[in-house]
Amino acid sequence: MKILVTGGAGYIGSHTCIELIKAGFEVIVVDNLCNSSFESLKRVKILADCDIPFYNVDICDKPALIKVFKKHSIDGVVHLAGLKAVGESVEKPIKYYNTNVGGTFILTDVMCEFNCKTIVFSSSATVYGDPQTVPIKENSPLSAKNPYGRSKLMIEEFFQDIFATDDSWRIALLRYFNPIGAHKSGLIGEDPNGVPNNLIPYISQVAVGKLEKLSVFGGDYDTPDGTGVRDYIHVVDLAKGHVKSLQALKNKPQVFIVNLGTGKGFSVLEMIKAFEKASKKKIPYQIVDRRLGDIAICYADPTFAKEKINWKAEYELNEMCEDTWRWQSLNLDGYPRYK
């Protein structure tokens, strides 16, 4: 089965390509490299020991997408291409809606032209907003709080509408919790541009000496130690969730939504401790004001993912931190930046 991976050069995409190939899928990648480097795909090819056709294409460029679909008879799409910085989405909503929502419309249109009706889409736990209760089930109330989150919700609703009018589609909407970690080889991992927004990339750059200290955003949340609690999931577990989703979609046309999380929450202070243990480095930190828009606590109920796609996260927190550390310490400045 030939799978087009949009955003396949990115953090989650590169790991997903490997798991797809391991499971016997043929992979083709489109990515405009706006937040990634071709080097990640070169390394994926080494790890997967096979060639991966790559197209430097923007998902908003319909003629270019059509060319890719003409060249390869694509059976399904794993759609990860998109912009993901919450803060930037507040400043540049048009850019975010154009790329995330507009790009998905264009991609889907092209899929229809080629009668390709299987898609796995990367949504986010951000669609739950500030959850009223945890663990969060798929049918918990939805309330995205920023343009990034709303773009994910709109796309989810768009795909539900598609299925409502044409029930021959096979659609998986995956709500990722907080992906961290890296491939065991240390060859591929998360490579943010500039100063990282997310906790683990920031901590790992402190550990490696690139940043001086971590600011812990808020020490007065209603959580056991006052700092924010999240469901961190190993990116390889997450990648396997895409394989399992495609396998589940094979059974029959359907649309489903599943949480991809571990079901366990860890606080910022617990994450610092776990990372110190994995890296054997001290992480200096100071508690500062809360970050605007942050929530206290968020973790998944992963029961439905087990039921629906026979998937369960396997990696524990120590391995997530050890693998992040291996990637970061072997690649001080991430991938070489020749794009």
Rounded Cα–Cα distance for residues 93 and 90 (Å): 6
Q: Is the Cβ of residue 102 or residue 226 nearer to ligand WQD in the bound state?
A: 226
Q: Contact with ligand NAD (CB under 6 A): which of 38, 42, 58, 223? A: 58
Rounded Cα–Cα distance for residues 123 and 100 (Å): 11
How many of the other CB atoms lie within 10 Å of CB of 297?
20
Q: Contact with ligand NAD (CB under 6 A): which of 3, 5, 10, 299? A: 10
* Position of minimal CB gap to ligand NAD: 10
Residue 315 known to be catalytic: no
Site string for ligand NAD, 178-207 (x = CB under 6 A): xx----------------------------
* Position of minimal CB gap to ligand WQD: 228
**Which 199-228 positions form the footprint of ligand WQD (CB under 6 A)?**
199, 202, 214-217, 228
| CA 145 distance to own-chain centroid | 18
32 binds ligand NAD, rule: CB under 6 A: yes
Min dist. Cβ of residue 112 to ligand NAD (A)? 19
Q: Judged by CB under 6 A, which stretch of 29-37, 44-52, 202-210, 314-322 contacts ligand NAD?
A: 29-37
36 binds ligand NAD, rule: CB under 6 A: yes
Of ligand WQD, ligand NAD, none, which one does residue 74 interact with (CB within 5 to 8 Å by kind)? none
Question: 11, 96, 97, 148: which is the annotated catalytic residue?
Answer: 148
φ and ψ at residue 332, rounded to 5 degrees: -50, -45
Q: Is the Cβ of residue 72 or residue 281 nearer to ligand WQD in the bound state?
A: 281
Q: Radius of gyration of the chain from Cα atoms?
A: 19
**Which 117-146 positions form the footprint of ligand WQD (CB under 6 A)?**
124, 126
Locate 67 and state its tokens.
């060319």
Rounded Cα–Cα distance for residues 93 and 11 (Å): 23
* DSSP assignments along 65-96, one per residue: HHHHHHHS---EEEE--S---HHHHHH-HHHH
Continuous segment of H or E residues that includes residue 303: helix 303-309
Helices (H) and strands (E) in the chain, counts: 12, 14
How many of the other CB atoms lie within 10 Å of CB of 209?
9
Min dist. Cβ of residue 282 to ligand NAD (A)? 26
Kindly determine how many residues on this chain lie close enough to bind ligand NAD according to the rule CB under 6 A: 27
SS3 of residue 119 by DSSP? strand
Min dist. Cβ of residue 39 to ligand NAD (A)? 12
φ and ψ at residue 302, rounded to 5 degrees: -90, 10
- The identity of residue 213, as a single letter, is K
What residues line the site for ligand NAD (CB under 6 A)? 7, 9-13, 31-36, 58-60, 80-84, 99, 103, 122, 124, 176, 178-179
Active site residues: 148
What residues line the site for ligand WQD (CB under 6 A)? 84, 86, 124, 126, 178, 197-199, 202, 214-217, 228, 230, 268, 291, 294
